[in-house]
Chain A
Amino acid sequence: MNTTKTTTIEKIKNIMIAVLLVTAVLLLSFFWRTSSIGGSIVNISRTLVQSDSSYMPQTMDLIMPEYIRVGLGSGSYVMCDTSVSMDRLDFDQGHDSETLYTELLAILRDYLEQEDVTTEEIEGEQYDTVMSYSTVSAVFSFELPYAEFLKNNGLPVPQNGASVDTMTRITFSPFSSENVFVYDGDNGKYYRITTGNAEFAKEEANILSALIGSLNAVAHSNYYTIQNVAGVDNDTLIPIYMVTGLTDETFRPAFSIEDSSDVEYMENLFFSGGMDFVRRITENRGSLMYVQGYSEKVLQLSAGGRISYREEFDQSGYEEQNLYESISDAVQYVSNHGGWREIVSGGMEPYLARVEKIKAETGNYTGYNVVFGLKMDGIPVEYGSGDPISVRLLGSQVVSYEREIVLTDKGESGSTGEDNLWQAMAPMDIITNNYEMMYGEMTAAAKEANINEAGAGGAAVENGETAVTSTTAAPEKDPKNQEPPGGAGQLENFDYVAANVNRVDLCMYKGDGDESLKPCWLILAGDCRFVFDAKTGERVNTETSADTEA
């Protein structure tokens, strides 16, 4: 009897345990579902596992000149990439520098550490006289606060003499070796930093001459101004020939909308609070859009691999930042939203392409648009539309982020492109072959720009009149230049195009829908962008509006 009773009690206990356990689980699951903590824990842990902040470039490593320009005198130049390895050059002055740019910084340090250094503003004509002899210049594509630049590079700031506000270009000349020249592009001013140490200056003259000679020896092309080549008033540099080892390079996008883990990763990155309040829209062409709230946060993932994120500006948290702080914030943001490592392992080299000041639509809130570009073997990668990475900050808040990274196998192959050199089509030939087309698009773009300006209260444009305000007017007709038979006005059209070219660069071009990067000539003229195959000279792009500044 007792045994039967005991067994019954044990069975009841078992049933009670089971029921209480199920009840507990049900109650716990209820709290887990309705609590945001559970979701956040999952999201945070995913983000921690997947975020790539383990590799992050130093801000100063990204703030580099766009290129190093070497003047050989008599209007001849060679262009060098900033990251040219010093091992490649027949030059050694004991600085142990790895790259050409760090060598220039070391030379600058030598100057600034002299005891009697003074800074003085000079005339443009004096500067031009120096530039007509051989020089070596670090040319930036944006204006840098001069004192900050020196401090961040561990260089002493000269205390005596004039105060330089911003810096666009630093130049050394063996023919004026007691000076270092600084050009302030923002204010259009020129300076020289002078040492009174004649012995030092004499040594530097020899050093700079040797450096220029070694850079000239490894150059693949010589550049001259368009004025020297074509006879029109334009000091934009154009290579008269180009020997290169670049080849077509297949690529793959770093982000794929087809990969659900990629998509989930992006969702967690940008909506760390969870996807419950986020509206998810799938467009017919395959792209995804996420909207939180009343467009407080919007994320777009395109089928082509572009990630676009926008966030509403929160004025309450605004605090003004300087350029370096903004760049640093941008670098950190990229590190936390996609990372840098895949760029480098994908055969690309990120660099700071440009920095533009921006302002909020309302209120006195300022910030910067920080744009990072990609280079492959020192050659910039140009996209058909958009930039590889751009971060817009107002104060310290990122209000817009765009990212589209392409990866190649170049990083793994280790090839340098120096093995099979070939001669690209000369860009001047490309311009002479296509100037009528370029003229047509440039004048149409200029007319549209004037119409838009007129709509915003600018000057009206008469019917049929091409009011070109943003470009240089066609130069006066040279009386010696006879018009070709049957070609009335052709020369004027060419002169107009040539006078308004403001950039000629060899690049690796990624057109919309392409599967490989192609070596191309990028020519910016007026408000238009033209891309031509470097081998055949055929045009490869259809859009005309320039994304970048001159």
Chain B
Amino acid sequence: MDWSKAKNIIIVALLLMDVFLGGMYINQLGGNSRNNEEVREYISNILDERGVEIKCDMPDKPRSMRSLSVRYNNMETSDVQKQIEAAIPTDENHRDEDAYRKAADTFLNSCDLDGKDAVFKEIREDKDQNRVIVSYKNMYGDLPLEQCSMSVEFTDGVITGFKRHWMQPVEEGSTETEVTDPMQAVLSLTGEGGEADHYSIEDITLVYWVSPLAENQDVLYDTAFPAWRITYNGGKIRFISTIEQ
């Protein structure tokens, strides 16, 4: 057998196939891009007609994402209480934001809760009651994992409370699914039967989101899906799933 000729044929066949598949891939990307532009324009017109005000930039969306398995990870109340009692009060003379944040970080460290997924979010102060709350958010890579929260509460410089509703990412799903455009999420929020007459969109961010469960549900593992977190009308928040089903 003339292997040389056979190799020529194989090379030509593979080349043709790669060109065909590559062309389809590029066409799809380009098509998606063109489609996205057309869709945005169409939706933008509808939102204008509805009087929806968009005060933020529309983020770019990834073409596809996977789902994310998560594990609920809440601490035992007795363990938390022990750590609170053992926590050192902040220095009376240096009770600034940095000090509170450092104290909160130290507390988390003592509880073994300062992994790479816990990221500082904000400090809120209630001067009337001498209370300061240091909050953390959960991140999976670049994306927030909602709705997780962790907060260390100080009263007169002493840690008096700790709240935690947390999930740990376990693994991603096996299949990538297409993510809807953020404009579509805004359209869905402001659609018929919406709660408000007028919408002012302040922020829209891509997150991983686990919809809340019933209070009496005692859950170990759950699934987070990509969602658009929309902040509107003075701080109200809604999550709209990105998965087109």
Please state if A281 and B218 are interface contacts (CB–CB under 8 Å).
no
Please state if B223 and A17 are interface contacts (CB–CB under 8 Å).
no
Closest to A14 in B: B7
Contact partners of B222 in chain A: CB under 8 A: 279-282
Given A24-B18, A24-B21, is A276 in contact with B219 using a C-beta cutoff of 8 Å?
Answer: no
Stretch with Cβ within 8 A of A (4 or more), from B94-102, B169-177, B192-200: B169-177
Contact partners of A282 in chain B: CB under 8 A: 219-222
Does A176 interact with chain B (Cβ within 8 Å)? no
Contact partners of A283 in chain B: CB under 8 A: 217-220
Q: Which 6 A-B pairs have the closest CB atoms?
A: A20-B14, A282-B221, A27-B21, A284-B218, A279-B223, A276-B175
Please state if A39 and B175 are interface contacts (CB–CB under 8 Å).
yes
Q: Add 20 more A-B contacts to A279-B211, A282-B222 (CB < 8 A).
A: A13-B4, A17-B10, A20-B18, A23-B14, A23-B18, A27-B21, A31-B21, A33-B175, A34-B176, A34-B178, A275-B173, A276-B177, A277-B177, A279-B223, A280-B223, A281-B213, A281-B223, A282-B219, A282-B221, A283-B218
Contact partners of A20 in chain B: CB under 8 A: 11, 14-15, 17-18
Does B22 interact with chain A (Cβ within 8 Å)? yes
* A interface residues, tally (CB under 8 Å): 30
Please state if A277 and B243 are interface contacts (CB–CB under 8 Å).
yes
User: Cα distance A385–B177 when bound, in Å?
Assistant: 40
Please, what's the 1-or-0 string for A272-290, where 1 marks a CB less than 8 Å from any CB in chain B? 0011111111111100000
Does B225 interact with chain A (Cβ within 8 Å)? yes
Please state if B67 and A276 are interface contacts (CB–CB under 8 Å).
yes
Contact partners of A320 in chain B: CB under 8 A: none
Contact partners of A456 in chain B: CB under 8 A: none
Contact partners of A279 in chain B: CB under 8 A: 211, 222-223, 225
Within 8 A of A (CB), among B172-189: 173-178
User: Cα distance A369–B188 when bound, in Å?
Assistant: 36
Does A51 interact with chain B (Cβ within 8 Å)? no
Does A16 interact with chain B (Cβ within 8 Å)? yes
Given A17-B14, A24-B17, is A281 in contact with B221 using a C-beta cutoff of 8 Å?
Answer: yes
Please state if A28 and B21 are interface contacts (CB–CB under 8 Å).
yes
Please, what's the 1-or-0 string for B211-245, where 1 marks a CB less than 8 Å from any CB in chain A? 10100011111110100000000000000000101
Contact partners of B213 in chain A: CB under 8 A: 281
Contact partners of B36 in chain A: CB under 8 A: none
Q: Supply 19 A–B pairs (Cβ within 8 Å), ascending by A.
A: A10-B4, A16-B11, A17-B10, A20-B17, A23-B18, A24-B21, A27-B22, A28-B21, A31-B24, A275-B173, A277-B67, A278-B223, A279-B211, A279-B225, A280-B223, A281-B213, A281-B223, A282-B220, A292-B245
Q: Which of B8, B178, B219 contacts A284 (CB 8 A)?
A: B219
Please, what's the 1-or-0 string for A147-174, where 1 marks a CB less than 8 Å from any CB in chain B? 0000000000000000000000000000
User: Cα distance A17–B25 when bound, in Å?
Assistant: 21
Contact partners of A28 in chain B: CB under 8 A: 21
Please, what's the 1-or-0 string for A1-26, where 1 marks a CB less than 8 Å from any CB in chain B? 00000000010011011001101100
Q: Is the interface of B mostly helix, strand, loop or mixed?
A: mixed
Contact partners of A363 in chain B: CB under 8 A: none
Closest to B3 in A: A10
Does B73 interact with chain A (Cβ within 8 Å)? no
User: Cα distance A30–B217 when bound, in Å?
Assistant: 38
User: Cα distance A281–B224 when bound, in Å?
Assistant: 10
Does A486 interact with chain B (Cβ within 8 Å)? no
Within 8 A of A (CB), among B56-82: 64, 67, 69
Quick one: which of B10, B17, B175, B177 has the most chain A CB within 10 A? B175
Contact partners of B218 in chain A: CB under 8 A: 283-285
Closest to B69 in A: A280
Please, what's the 1-or-0 string for A101-138, where 1 marks a CB less than 8 Å from any CB in chain B? 00000000000000000000000000000000000000
Please state if A13 and B219 are interface contacts (CB–CB under 8 Å).
no
Q: Which of A24, A278, A280, A292 contacts B14 (CB 8 A)?
A: A24
Contact partners of A274 in chain B: CB under 8 A: 175
User: Cα distance A274–B245 when bound, in Å?
Assistant: 11
Please state if A13 and B175 are interface contacts (CB–CB under 8 Å).
no
Does A464 interact with chain B (Cβ within 8 Å)? no
Closest to B25 in A: A27
User: Cα distance A28–B219 when bound, in Å?
Assistant: 38
Closest to A279 in B: B223
Contact partners of B25 in chain A: CB under 8 A: 27, 30-31
Closest to A32 in B: B175
User: Cα distance A283–B219 when bound, in Å?
Assistant: 4
Does A479 interact with chain B (Cβ within 8 Å)? no
Q: How far is the CB of B52 from chain A (nearest CB, A)?
A: 22
Q: Which of B17, B64, B211, B217 contacts A34 (CB 8 A)?
A: B64
